Structures are given as C-alpha cells and as structure tokens.
Structure 1
Amino acid sequence: MNNLPIPNQRAIVDRRELAGKIDALAKEKGAQQARGEIVALLKDALEQGRAEIRQRLETHPSRGHLCTGSQSFLIDQLVRIIHDLVIEHVYPVANRSAAERLTILAVGGYGRAEMAPHSDVDIAFITPTRRAPWCEQVIEAMLYFLWDLGLKVGHSSRTVDDTLRMAREDLTIRTALLEGRFVWGDRALYDETSVRFWAEVAKGSERQFLAEKLEERNARHKRMGDSRYVVEPNVKDGKGGLRDLQTLYWIGKYIHRVRSAADLVDVGLLTKAEYKGFRRAEGFLLAVRCHMHFITGRAEDRLTFDLQRRVAERMNFQDRPGKSAVERFMQFYFLQAKRVGSLTGVFLAHIDDEFEHKRARSGFFAGWKQKSRLLKGYRVFGGRIAAPSDDWFRKDPIRLIEVFQLAEENSLEVHPETMRLANRDSVLIKDDVRENPRANALFLDLLSGRNDPEMVLRWMNEANVFGRFVPDFGRVNAQMQFDMYHHYTVDEHTIRAIGLLSKIEKGELKGDHPRSTGLIHKITSRRALYVAVLLHDIAKGRGGDHSVLGADVARELCPRFGLDDAETDLVAWLVLQHLLMSATAQKRDLTDPKTIEDFVSEVQSTERLRNLMLLTVVDIRAVGPGTWNSWKRQLIGELYDSAQERLRLGHMRHGREQRVEAKKESVAEQLGDRAGLVADIGKLFDDAYWIAEPEDVIALNLVQYEVARKIEDQLSIHCEYYEARGATLVTVIAADHPGLFYRIAGGIALAGANIIDARIHTARSGWAVDNFLVQDPVGKPFREAGQIDRLKKAIADALGNRIELVPKLAQRPLPRSRAGAFEVAPRVNFDNQASNRFTVIEVNARDRSALLNRLSRALFESNLMVQSAHITNYGERAADTFYVTDLTGSKVTTPSRLKEIEQRLLDAASDERQAALEPAE
C-alpha cells in the first residue's frame, strides 16, 4: 500500500556493505563462533537505521508514509541479510531438493510497508511440504537472530496447501495473506502461493469477505467508543483511524485485485480528489503514530492527553489566540478522522451498488429493478434519498439544505453518492444562501425535526454543509477541549445534545428524565430551545468567556434563522446562562434561602426556568458516558422545584418556622412508633439542621443518636447505600472538637472513597452529627459489606489517632493518574454575598489524592468552622465549595484575614511534597 520511494536508502542501511562484513566474519571464524559479533553488527545497523529514520521524521514531522516505508525498508534489509547468512553459513546445502525451498512474506503493517518504529515484525514462512528438516532449521535460526536484535516477531510457518486451507477458514489469515509482500527467498514459491490464493480462496467469496470485514469493523468501533470524536482516540483501531483506511484498501483489493490504494481511483471506488484526501489522512495518522512510538519507546497507539501535547510540539503546531497548540493539533486530527468517515461512506456505497447490479443480472430476479419514486424532484429508493443529477445542487444551492431536511422529515438515509455531491458542492453555500429565508426555514425544520435530527445533522456535518451554512458552527468543527471532563469534540457534543433533547421530547428517556419529559411539552417555543442547544457552546475557542461571546452570536443568528424578538432574547439568555443551573446545583447549598433567591433573581420567569432545566440536562449528559447520574438529577431537581415554587408564588411557600414544623411532622410520620424522638432528640438541633437535611436522613440521624446515647458510645459511624442520591450515606456522631471534619475526610479518602457532599451540624449537647455522601473514584456508591466495613474502620482509625493520617494519604495515588498531564493553577474565590450567614469559599485545583482532606485541614488551621461542603469534579479539575464562619459564628470579611486563608488553601492545593512532610497530630 505504501509505494513511496525511500530517498538515500544507504543512509538508513547499506545492505551490501553490512552483508560483506558479516560474510567475512562467518568465513573467517565460522557462523556459530562469530555469532556474537554478527549480532552486534546487526544491532548497530538497526539502531543507526532507526536513528536516521527518527531524524528524518523530526525534519519532516508530517511525512508518515516516508517514516513507515523507511522502517519497513530497514527490516527488509536485515531479514534478507539474516536469511542469506543462515542458508550460506549456518545450514548450507550444496544441492537442495524441491522440498528444501523457503519464501518469506511480510504481512500486516510490515506487509503494507507501513511499519511504525516499534511495531511487530509480522512474517509468514511458506514451504512446499511439511516436515522438511532444512526448512525448519533455517526458520528457527532466522527467528533466533531476529529475537537477539530485540525485535518482537509475529510469525507463522506453513506449507502452501495449509496456508490456503487456513485462509479459507480464518478471516485474519486471509487478510494477512491478502497484503502479503515478497521479502526474500524462493520467488517461484511466492508466485505459486499468490496465484492459488486468488484462484482458490478469493474467487467467489468477495461478498462474504465484505460482510465479515464490516462486521469486524463495527465490533472494533464498539470496543473503541463508537465515535471518531473521543478525546483520547486510538490512532490505529479507533473510528476514523488507520484500520478504517486499511479496511477500505483490503475490500477494494479483494474485490478488484488492486495492487495499491491509488488503483482504487482506476476502478471507480474513489475520485482523484478523494484519493488525495485518503493519502493525506493516512500520511498524517501514520506520522502521529510514529511520533508516539518514538516518544514512548514502545508500540503505543492510544493518543493520550500526555502524548497529545508532545506530539503537537513535535509536529510544529503553535498556540493561537483562544486555542492552544495541542487543541489546534487535535482539531486537525479529528478533521482527518472525519475525512476517513466520509471516504468510508462513499466507498462502501459504491461496493454496495456493484453487488446490487451483479445480483440483478442473474437468477429469478434477473432484469428486475426496484422502482424509485420522486419526492420534490429527488429520487427515493431503498430507504434512501438521492439527487437526480450531477448538477442538481449547482442549479440551486439551497437544495444542499433541503436534501437533509427531507431526509429527516421522511426518515430517509441520504445516498452516499449524494453525500459525495453535497461535499463537493458545499463551497456553493455563500452569503446569499445563508441569508435566504427558505434555506433558514428548512434548516430550522431539520434542527427541530420530529424524527432523528441528530443523525441527519451528523450527515450534514460530514458533508461539510453544516459548517458552511452556519460558519460559527464550522469554527468548532472537530474542536476538542484539552481536559478529562469532555469526552467529545465540541461539534459532536452539540449534535449529541440535540439528539438527547429529541429523545426526551419523544418520551424515550422518561425513565432517566421524568421531570424533563413533562416539561418539554410546556415550553412556549420548542424551536427556540433547539436553537439554544445548537448555540450553547458555539463560541468555544475564541479566547474569551464562551457564554458571553455565544450570546452575541445568538443575537446575530436567531433573526437569520427566522426566530422572533422574544425567541431571540430567550436563546441569547439561555446561551449566556447555560452553566448557571449546574453550577448553582453542584456548588451551592440549596437549603440556604439566599441560594434560591439569587438564582431566581437571575432566572426571573418560569418559562426561562423550564428551558434552562432542559438545556442543563442535555448539556451535562452529552459531555460523555457517566457524567449524568442520580446525584446530579437529585440536585438539579431540587433546585428546579425550589425555584419554581418561588417564581410561582412570589415567595417560598412557607416561612422558616412553618418549614421546620412541616419537616418535623413528616419525620415523626416516618418514625412511626419512635415518633417521640422528634421531640426528645430533635430539640437538640437548631432550625438550620431541620431545613438542611431531607426527612429520611433526619429520621436515620435521630435513631442513630438515640442508640449511641443509650450505649454511651463516644463514636457512632453508620454507612448505608442511599439509592435516591446514587451514593453511600455516611453519618458520624461524635463529641465535637476542632479538626473533626478534616479527620473524617481523611479517613474516607483512605478507604478509597470520594466525598461529593457534606453537611456538618453541632447539637446543643455538644455532639457533632455530620452527614457525608460518598462514591468510589468512578462515581459508583459503596454497597458491598466489605466496602462498608472498610469505610467505617478507616474513619474510626482516623478519629482515634490510630494511624498517621497525612503520610498514609500522601502514599495513595490518584485513581485517575492521567490528571498529571494537565496544568491546573489553583484558584481561591471568596463570596460573602452568596449566603446571609456564611462566607462561601470555592477552591479550584487539580484533582489529586485526599485534596478535600488537605483543604479542610487548612480551614481548621485557619480557625474556621465548616458548615457544609459541596464537591464537584470536572475531569482533572476539582471545584470544592465550603460554607464557613469564624469561631464566633460570623462571616469572614477582613481583607488581611481573607488573604491569609487564601494562601493556606493555595499551599494545600498545590504543594503535595510539603503536605506529605507535615507531621501528623
């Protein structure tokens, strides 16, 4: 497949010179006696060849074909030298019989001459007959030489008959043989194998090979995340990666017997322009893979965050305003992956059509052709919509929008040949088309379509029509965000969010989103909401607050789309505030009335609240798998209900006293025959406790407190799975003392758990009742008995000073070690307006082992009382919010005091070594 000529080959390895030296040694000392020296010569040649190839890649960092071709050339020469050494000096035979013949085939990436620096050397040894002792000896001797060079060799040794029989039975062997390349040995034996392969294996099995290859591809995509826009892609096996291009070549070669990818043009499977795109994408992906191999010193195919930055640097990508070098590099990477996807669709459609024609010419259905119908001038057949002529879009470029709108409205696929035409003619979309009212009406109908707008918008994006029609969307096409929180590129995230909104509207996600499923049918303008979802991240990568910049974009685009003034105002506000609800729900104390007041003063209307709720839900869920969970559903639901009540009534339904009394009645009802605990123990807690905690948690706390008091237990720890929140509830009742919170946080961290929410209460009796919600590092609750016991023991040990907490915590690695690839400068914000009673402190820092414990210790050392803590993770970044007072119960307002607290928190968030060295109390 890689037929690029290698310049100055002898600078990589001079086979004639090297072979001469080895031959002289073997003659002088004998092959076995000189083995060490021979291996040293070969090793030196391998290392020098790799160094030369590496230097060439550094000089031309995007020439992947040159690098992989050179690596294959280097291995070819070494294999040839070793073969000749073995047959001439190790096992020489004067007159070999017909059975004593051997041919060496390169297979796999080596066979395609697309060999990355640390790829396996895949070799097939072919012999005429079985059990030819000389052949077995030669093969074994060659392998030992290759292994001595430190090469990882994948090898097989078979007769011609066995090779063909196994190829018929096994798709992997058939594929390997398909791209087998003669390296050295008996050429006649290779030719015999090749001729018989095409006559006895390939002939008549083309359709089967196609089906099996596509099934193999789909399974591989599923394994790799089933999207070409995952932010840590697998360059080799991921969707849109090298294996997809290779699959096209395999299929084309198997069906049309092409010798190289360039021949795919001659047989009509690709146009010249598409082949250029094929080569460009392939060359770039190969270069990326080669850089990864050189950087890691091993066969590495996953483009992880730490590698992305280094590869971007090696490939000379530079920072630009609003977009770092690594983000520019990854955007280019995803554009190549997108090109691979487009080529795949067109290519397979041609193959499909070929088989359709063949089917129609024979058998009972000979001469029968499926009837097509017309739909607004388009041909519709086989569930696909197709342009009727090559110049269809040139005659009227608005049809480039219309074809996708009709596909969505009528649940049709766009024929790949029409996709090819749309891609070619997308350049015709200029300002006159963008400003055309009909074109915009068609686009709006598609965006808010009732069937499957997600899929059709993705096709529209693949054909480059989407980005041409909405240039602001084109700017975020294939754009990644360099962090661990976002799983997809901006365009893919946006299209997924639109799809989720559509599914909610159709009731398909009622189990996960019952509230949203009801709300979406109460909003005034569904099309405004769909536009808001489209535009919420439209201004990312512009070097400013994307919410503010996005609102400006919305004010320009909405009138163009045909939205009225009220809809435009709503969309602009939603884009501006699309992070407000999630930030409030996850970072603020929802039981603090001031939190609700501030949120409502910004939202101002029930209509805005409904729309914001729906946008928030799809935005979080479209970030990636696992980002939406029952905990977030509970928090956002609570905020919605409180805000909705405040907006509807103009005030909270009940005053503070009435709310407390209503809670007490509800708890008494839950406790049944133990209802007396509300009066007996409940009087020990002030109103803040009754407002802050849910009724079911209060009931558990009262029972636990009573049991602890009866048995005079100085420490009571209760843990149970809390289904409503998708977490484990941990309640600690102990004599209150300074530092209690940070010690509990340390114990929970030692047990391998993460705190996601914490509420700290002190009863009038002087006892602390602290409620924590915890999850494991991947966001799952602790449910097993062993996990619960481990939690209890770790907390008890931490509070009982039975372990040296700080050194133990310093030893624990962060479960997501990839966070080390990111630089997150710690930041501390104080807010004395967010609560009437507390100073709110928010700390943003890189997530790492026991961060919360270190921050809470810093607060303890600053003589602050923590009332509640709210913990949010955004991939590598943690945002921990604390509601605090000083020791007198007052807010902290003195500038010098705030500066001192800030410095302590920054030290705790940023200096791991210092934290590890601090003495345990």
Structure 2
Amino acid sequence: MTSTEVTTATDDPGPSGYAAARLRLLQQEARSGPPRRFALARLTDDWLTALFTTAAAGTGVRGAALVAVGGYGRGELSPRSDLDLLLLHDGSAGAAAVAALADRIWYPVWDLGLALDHSVRTPAEARKTAGEDLKVQLGLLDARPVAGDLGLVAALRTTVLADWRNQAHRRLPELAGLGRERAERMGELQFLLEPDLKEARGGLRDATALRAVAASWVADAPREGLAEARRTLLDVRDALHLTTGRATDRLALQEQDQVAGALGLLDADALLRQVYEAARTVSYATDVTWREVERVLRARSARPRLRSLLGGGAKAVPERTPLAEGVVEADGEVVLARTARPEKDPVLPLRAAAAAAESGLPLSRHLVRHLRTAARPLPVPWPAEAREELVTLLGAGEATVTVWEALEAEGIITRLLPDWERVRCRPQRNPVHTWTVDRHLVETAVRAASLTRRVHRPDLLLVAALLHDIGKGWPGDHSAAGEVIARDMATRIGFDAQDTGVVATLVRHHLLLVETATRRDLDDPATVRAVADAVGSTSTLELLHALTEADALATGPAAWSSWRAGLVTDLVKRVAALLAGEEPAEPEPLTPGAEQERLAVEALRTGEPALALRTGPEPALADGDPEPVGVELLIALPDRPGVLPAAAGVLALHRLTVRAADLRAVELPTGLGGPADLLVLSWRVAAEYGSLPQAARLRTDLVRALDGSLDIRARLAEREAAYPRRRGVKAPPPRVTVAPAASRLATVIEVRAQDAPGLLHRIGHALERSAVRVRSAHVSTLGANAVDAFYVTDGDGGPLPGERAAEVAREVEKALG
C-alpha cells in the first residue's frame, strides 16, 4: 500500500476509521511481507499523528514528540504487534498538561484493544533510564519520530547513539549475556518442533541484537543472507498472528499447517525447514559477530599496555602459528597461510576444517568465504588425504560441531557431499529426537568419536555415523534408501569396495540391535540367528554395536539407558558367539535372580502376587546423566488367565507409565519346589506426576483385579474420558502386525501405537480374548510412541498358524482403534 492509499484510507481520523483501514489492509492477501508491515506502520503513524496533533492543541503542550521505539520504530509492525511508544517532552509544560496529553493518546489505543508499551520522559530522563536499563537503551536505538518536535527526537537519538558507542566495552558483554541466558531458557530455534520465533536462539531477538552491535561500531554481522533470514521470520510471525488472531511468537504444532498454507508452502515440514534455515543463518551470524566483538574488545583493553611495551606508535603483529599445510592460527582463529593456494589445493577446505577441530579453534569467516569461491572441487573419488582429513574432522569430538556449522553456512558441505542437501535443516517430528536430521548426524559422529577406541576401524565407524540417517530425505524406509545413498557417498569419499560394503551394511542395519534387543526374545535362537545373518561378521558387529550406542546417545535422553545398553550388549555377545561358531542353545525356563527368587518363593507360599518396588537411585549413562526409564517393579505370581491385562491396568490406575517391561515364565532351583508355570514380570515404571505409590497398595489392587472385584476397564474408561489431549494433534492409527519368521517357538505380534494410559491393559485384554498364551512380552516406549512385541502360543504351547496369527493381530488392532 502506498502512502497515498494509506492517507485516503484514514480520512476518518478517529479510532473507528483507523480500525476499518487496518482490517482492510490485513485482509489483502495479495499484499504481505515487508510491504504490508511498512503499510501498517504508515497507517498507524498517520492515525497517531492525528491523535497527537489534536491532543497537543487541546492541552496546549509544546516541545513534545511522539516516538516509535523497538519493533514499531523499525517499521516491523506485525498484525498483533505491540505499539512501543515514547511521549518525549522538553519539560516546559506542566506535569498535569503532559499527563493529559498522554491520556488523550493512550486511551484511544487501549479502546481499540491494541497492546501498548508506553512511557513519558524528558530527554534527560530517557537517557538516564537507558543508562540503567539495557532493554530501554536497545529500544531507543531504533527510535523514530512519529509526530511533534523532530529536533527533540533527533537530539535524543544522537545522545543515545553516542552513549551506546562510548559504553560498548560494558554494554556489549551485558547484551551477550542476555542472549546466552535466553538461549538456555528458550532453546535453539533451528531445532525446536514448537519454536518461539522471537526469543529462541537464532530468532528475531538475536537478529535485533546484531543491529545493536553494528550500531556500536565495534563489529558488523555477516550480511549475506541475514536480511532475508530476518524477513522470513517476520513473514512467518505475520502469518501466525493472522492464523491465530493472537499476539503470539510460538509456532505451535496444531497451527503449523495453517501457517504454511497462508505462506503458500506445501506443508508444516516445509514451513519448519524454512524457519530452521533462517534461524541457522541468524545463529551463525551471531556466533561470528560475538567472536569478533570479543576480539576487538580484548584488543582495545590490551592496547595501552602493548603501546607502553612496544614504545611509541609501534604496532603489534598477531602471531601466526602453523597448524597444517596452508593453515595457521592467528588471533584465536584459523586462517590461511600466506603461501596457501586454494585454487591449486582441493583438499585445503577439509585440511583447514580438520586442523580447526583438532585445535578447538573457530574457522575465520573470511577463510570459509574465500574457500567457498576459490577452492577447486575435489576429484571423485576423493584422494586418500581428503578422506583422512574428513575422518580427522569427524573424530575431533565436540569441536566438530562448530567447524561443521561454519562450513555448512557457506555451502561447502553440500558441495563436498551433494546428498547432504536433502537432510539439511530437515525436521524430525518424533519428539524423542532433539535435533534436525543433519545436526543429529553430526552429533552421532561426535558421540562415535568417544567410542573409536573400542573398534578396529574407527574411520568406518565415524563415516557410518555421519551417514546412518542420510536416507531420511527420501521416501520409504530411510534405512533401505540410506544404504543405497551411503554406498554412493562412501565410493565418492574414496573407500574401496569392501569398506564401502561395510558402511552400507551399517547404515542399512543401524536400528537392528536396539530394536531386536528391546522387542525380541533374546533366548530364542531365531532372534540371534537373524541378527547374525544380517551383520555377517564379527568386525561389522563390533562397528554396529558402537554405532548403535552413538546414534541413541545423539538422539535424546529418552532413547538410551543402562537398561537398553545392557540388552544390546547381551544381544551382541550372543551374536558374536554364533558368528564364532557356537550354536545358540534352545531356551530353557528362566532362572530367577536373588530378588526374583525371593518373590517367587513368597508367591508360591501364599498363592498370591508378591511385589517389590526398587526406588533407589537410577543408574547413570556413560556420560553421567541418569537414565530416564524410571524405577524397577518386580511382580511374581502363579500363572493364570488375565495376569498381563490386570497388572498393566493396575499400573495405569496408579498413574504409572510403563517405560519397559518383560514377562517371563521362570523355574525355581531344585529344592524350592513349586509349579513350572510361575510368572515374573519385570517392569520399568515412572510416575506421571507426584510420588510413586506404595508396593502394598499395588499388590492389593492387583489381587482385586485378578479376582474380579476391581473393574479395571470401567475405571480406565473414566480416566480415558477425562484424559487431556492436545488440540489439533492427530496421532497416526495403531498398527498391529505379525513378525514373519521371528521365532520357531512362538508367534510374534508387534504393536505400534500412540502411548496412552491403559494401552498395555487393552492389548493384554485383547490377547486374552483371543485365547492365546503370552509366553513373553517386550515393551518399549520412546516419547509418545509405544512399540511392543508379544510372543504368543496356542493352548499346546506352539506357534499360531498363519491365518490364526493374522486374526489375533486384527483383534488387537480393533481393540486399540
């Protein structure tokens, strides 16, 4: 909208005229982005100017001005943005007259329901407040006159800018601290499924901070792509305001599809990827800028001392320490040596990156930009030196992340590895995942770097870690697609055919160990043999074991625990023995441990369930963090119909979430006697909220559930009716399948469903109705998803015929639907 159109639209200077013109502007679908924000700011300026002029005439106040500050001062007025206004006056009018002037401006704004952040100050008061409050000073840096005495505003702007530049040595570290605190509190925008577009790291607040740094004349942010990134975030916020009708900066899951549609994007994933790319640009610019600020401020503080040491006007030359061929350290950054020739040295980008990661230093922005334009492309396949430098970069640990991000910011990674483009900034909808796909791959390599001492071929482990999810950018099973892509990429990197085959196998089966260990019966020979057939050799098994741990640790806190690690280690030992020529023994009844034996004897003696709830400290992972799988609950009781649904239902009634579970028939040692059909249930549970219930209460309710005096289904139905569900978030339907050839001893029914209170009870009840015996159950919960496997047999203890197994699967799926 042009200024003429704005003026015409506001011939009625009153609130109703402004409101109508504002509504018409926001409804113009053809006009969005910066033009609409500019037009909205001009429309608001014209209305406020009329208000100010009328109010000033009515109160007789002279020497005053209405000033837009903050986002309104920058002209970034989104549909539901606050109006940040300062009424500036020279103090010549009385306090009562100034207060009356303010009231005549503020009240019409409030009457329209617009959010208003307002203040009334003299220039001296504004300067004093800015000196005491950094946020006020930042807002005044964007001060823009709306109406009134322009000279008054110009003088204030000059003073505030001068103060900002003179106080940069104190104010900039304070601003940096605010950014770090905000990042810790709000997270990183480029990885969040429901990001705050303003407050999260890499968001609009950081983009504004970069403007403030530039105004200090200490350093300037990298300009390439920054304005576009800021515009993208503002456009998304505009669409979010219009979609929700609220002044919100949080891009909630249930609103993402609508926001994407308003912006003409395909879906919510396309929206998030665009947001992530913008946030990554802002984050990288932020890192580079604050590093430069630290360097400049450090140099300024050292200058007087250096001048006295060097004498007179002599200048200190930064020391240059060689790091690798063509690469040196200078002033805390990695830069090119004067003799470097990137146009003749295609390995130089990887050599510089590896040297930076190994030394724990950042790559100079100028170096990365120069390498992007000047370095000659690597030949395909890569020479051995390039492959070795890539492995060195990946093996550097935590320092790899910063270096990799610098290369990605300038497009060097996708030039080296073109298939990387499909996973770059790709969101992962499973909340178990902390990172986007590309960052998860780098984090997995970081985790794998700490495990390289455990394997004979660390280079293959690190490259497989980098590529294990590379297929997520393609349709279908990402492991199958990833195998093909990884084979091509490994060949490109320069591995021979044998090593390429190993990398491809690792990518194809990177989920095999953890899924088998948590969802299959490890005592069943078919389980061990299937893994051995897929892996093929002990050397590949060794690598796959390390990759499994690195992948899980890099996924998020819910993906790994000492319990899962123990299951995977047990599986690996069994598979290694089979690959070494030892045939797995046929399963025998489980021999209980000491605590299980105690409970089993008690159950045999009383004929009723015996329980133990271990509430001691949880074991820790390798990195020292406690595992998030809850506490252990053991239940021993004679086998009888309805055990699984009854036990699961009681836990659900007591608001205990089942993180993992195992149900087994056990055999007591000779001399203790008792029937062979004794069951021991080993659960990992966590309270949804509050403290854990007492074991005695659980036992009482379990006895009642088994004898029928406690109606589990009715009680759970009451809870289900009251259970809060997130609006707009639709879970995919449950899927129940029969795992083919998973066991010769039983039929394996696998259930994938949204985790919910009573889920395990409903599954157990459906299996009971189907008249099958549950030989063992293996429950695994990752975030909001449950993947459970049940080994079932017919009445004679054998596997179910094909059609019968399919019928049972349909019954379970129907019960969950």
CA positional deviation for 1:358: 5.1
Return the alpha-carbon distance in structure 2 between the equivalents of residues 777 and 73 of structure 1.
Answer: 55
Aligned match of 1:688: 589
Structure 2 residue matching 1:474: 3-state secondary structure? helix
1:76 paired with 2:28, answer no
Letter in 1 for 2:614: E
Aligned match of 2:202: 240
Letter in 2 for 1:811: A
1:476 paired with 2:423, answer yes
Q: 2:169 aligns with which of 197, 202, 207?
A: 207
- Percentage of pairs with the same residue: 26
Return the alpha-carbon distance in structure 2 between the equivalents of residues 878 and 227 of structure 1.
Answer: 28
Aligned match of 1:728: 631
Q: Which moved more, 1:276-285 or 1:229-238?
A: 229-238
CA contact (8 A) 1:824 1:877 kept: no
Matches within 5 A, 1:149-168: 149-168=112-131
Return the alpha-carbon distance in structure 1 between the equivalents of residues 105 and 339 of structure 2.
Answer: 57
Matches within 5 A, 1:330-369: 330-348=272-290, 351=293, 355=297, 362=304, 364-365=306-307, 367-369=315-317
Letter in 2 for 1:482: R
CA positional deviation for 1:790: 7.2
Q: Which moved more, 1:471-480 or 1:168-177?
A: 471-480
| 625 and 443 in structure 1: CA distance in 2 versus 1, 3 angstrom threshold | same
CA positional deviation for 1:552: 2.4
Return the alpha-carbon distance in structure 1 between the equivalents of residues 430 and 701 of structure 2.
Answer: 32
1:116 paired with 2:78, answer yes
Matches within 5 A, 1:209-224: 209-224=171-186
Aligned match of 2:552: 620
Q: 1:137 aligns with which of 90, 97, 100?
A: 100
CA positional deviation for 1:248: 0.9
Return the alpha-carbon distance in structure 1 between the equivalents of residues 720 and 293 of structure 2.
Answer: 59
Matches within 5 A, 1:362-441: 362=304, 364-365=306-307, 367-375=315-323, 376-388=325-337, 392-425=341-374, 430=377, 432=379, 435-441=382-388
CA positional deviation for 1:492: 0.3
Structure 2 residue matching 1:414: 3-state secondary structure? coil
Return the alpha-carbon distance in structure 1 between the equivalents of residues 100 and 458 of structure 2.
Answer: 75
CA positional deviation for 1:789: 7.2
CA positional deviation for 1:193: 2.5
CA positional deviation for 1:493: 0.3
Structure 2 residue matching 1:840: 3-state secondary structure? strand
1:230 paired with 2:192, answer yes
Return the alpha-carbon distance in structure 2 between the equivalents of residues 535 and 243 of structure 1.
Answer: 34
CA contact (8 A) 1:429 1:469 kept: no
1:64 paired with 2:33, answer yes
CA contact (8 A) 2:189 2:276 kept: no
Deviations 1:810-869 (A, max 9, x none): 225368x48x63552432211352223221111222333432222222222222222332
User: TM-score with structure 1 length normalisation?
Assistant: 0.78
User: TM-score with structure 2 length normalisation?
Assistant: 0.87
CA positional deviation for 1:434: 6.0
Matches within 5 A, 1:490-569: 490-505=437-452, 520-521=453-454, 523-569=455-501
Aligned match of 1:901: 808
CA positional deviation for 1:406: 2.4
Matches within 5 A, 1:787-806: 795=702, 798-799=705-706, 800-801=709-710, 804-806=714-716
CA contact (8 A) 1:585 1:635 kept: yes
> Structure 1 unaligned runs (5+)?
1-6, 23-38, 257-267, 319-324, 506-519, 657-686, 911-921
Aligned match of 1:597: 529
| 718 and 251 in structure 1: CA distance in 2 versus 1, 3 angstrom threshold | same
CA contact (8 A) 2:188 2:202 kept: no
Structure 2 residue matching 1:873: 3-state secondary structure? strand
Structure 2 residue matching 1:591: 3-state secondary structure? coil
CA contact (8 A) 2:747 2:799 kept: yes
Aligned match of 1:753: 656
| 287 and 858 in structure 1: CA distance in 2 versus 1, 3 angstrom threshold | same
CA positional deviation for 1:616: 0.4
Deviations 1:123-171 (A, max 9, x none): 2233334970122233234333322211222223333322211211221
Q: 1:8 aligns with which of 2, 7, 10?
A: 2
Return the alpha-carbon distance in structure 1 between the equivalents of residues 529 and 346 of structure 2.
Answer: 51
| 632 and 297 in structure 1: CA distance in 2 versus 1, 3 angstrom threshold | farther
Return the alpha-carbon distance in structure 2 between the equivalents of residues 198 and 838 of structure 1.
Answer: 77
CA contact (8 A) 1:13 1:49 kept: no
Matches within 5 A, 1:667-706: 688-690=589-591, 695-702=593-600, 704-705=602-603
CA contact (8 A) 2:394 2:449 kept: no
CA contact (8 A) 2:334 2:364 kept: yes
1:741 paired with 2:644, answer yes
| 451 and 717 in structure 1: CA distance in 2 versus 1, 3 angstrom threshold | closer
CA positional deviation for 1:11: 5.6
Letter in 2 for 1:464: G
Deviations 1:85-120 (A, max 9, x none): 5445xxx23x54x6xx54322222222221222222
CA positional deviation for 1:13: 7.0
CA contact (8 A) 2:750 2:787 kept: yes
CA contact (8 A) 1:209 1:251 kept: no
Q: 2:571 aligns with which of 639, 645, 658?
A: 639
Structure 2 residue matching 1:240: 3-state secondary structure? coil
| 8 and 413 in structure 1: CA distance in 2 versus 1, 3 angstrom threshold | closer
Matches within 5 A, 1:74-113: 74-88=43-57, 92-93=58-59, 95-96=60-61, 101-113=63-75
| 215 and 393 in structure 1: CA distance in 2 versus 1, 3 angstrom threshold | farther
Q: How many residues align?
A: 790
Return the alpha-carbon distance in structure 1 between the equivalents of residues 598 and 118 of structure 2.
Answer: 65
Aligned match of 1:886: 794
CA positional deviation for 1:578: 0.8
Deviations 1:242-285 (A, max 9, x none): 222211111112337xxxxxxxxxxx946xxx645122111111
Aligned match of 1:18: 12
| 196 and 340 in structure 1: CA distance in 2 versus 1, 3 angstrom threshold | closer
Return the alpha-carbon distance in structure 2 between the equivalents of residues 485 and 245 of structure 1.
Answer: 29
Aligned match of 1:871: 779
Return the alpha-carbon distance in structure 2 between the equivalents of residues 886 and 51 of structure 1.
Answer: 70
Structure 1 residue matching 2:718: 3-state secondary structure? helix
Structure 1 residue matching 2:19: 3-state secondary structure? helix
CA positional deviation for 1:500: 1.0
CA contact (8 A) 1:720 1:783 kept: no
Return the alpha-carbon distance in structure 1 between the equivalents of residues 183 and 771 of structure 2.
Answer: 54
CA contact (8 A) 1:127 1:159 kept: yes
Return the alpha-carbon distance in structure 2 between the equivalents of residues 102 and 503 of structure 1.
Answer: 65
CA contact (8 A) 2:471 2:478 kept: yes
Letter in 2 for 1:127: H
Return the alpha-carbon distance in structure 2 between the equivalents of residues 454 and 116 of structure 1.
Answer: 35
Return the alpha-carbon distance in structure 1 between the equivalents of residues 530 and 234 of structure 2.
Answer: 53
Structure 2 residue matching 1:882: 3-state secondary structure? strand
| 746 and 785 in structure 1: CA distance in 2 versus 1, 3 angstrom threshold | closer
| RMSD (CA atoms) | 3.4
| 378 and 633 in structure 1: CA distance in 2 versus 1, 3 angstrom threshold | closer
| 742 and 13 in structure 1: CA distance in 2 versus 1, 3 angstrom threshold | farther
Structure 2 residue matching 1:891: 3-state secondary structure? coil
CA contact (8 A) 1:126 1:158 kept: yes
| 143 and 751 in structure 1: CA distance in 2 versus 1, 3 angstrom threshold | farther
Aligned match of 2:624: none
Q: Which moved more, 1:868-877 or 1:132-141?
A: 868-877
> Structure 2 unaligned runs (5+)?
308-312, 620-626, 668-673
Deviations 1:604-641 (A, max 9, x none): 43222211110001111111244322332232233223
Return the alpha-carbon distance in structure 2 between the equivalents of residues 777 and 250 of structure 1.
Answer: 47
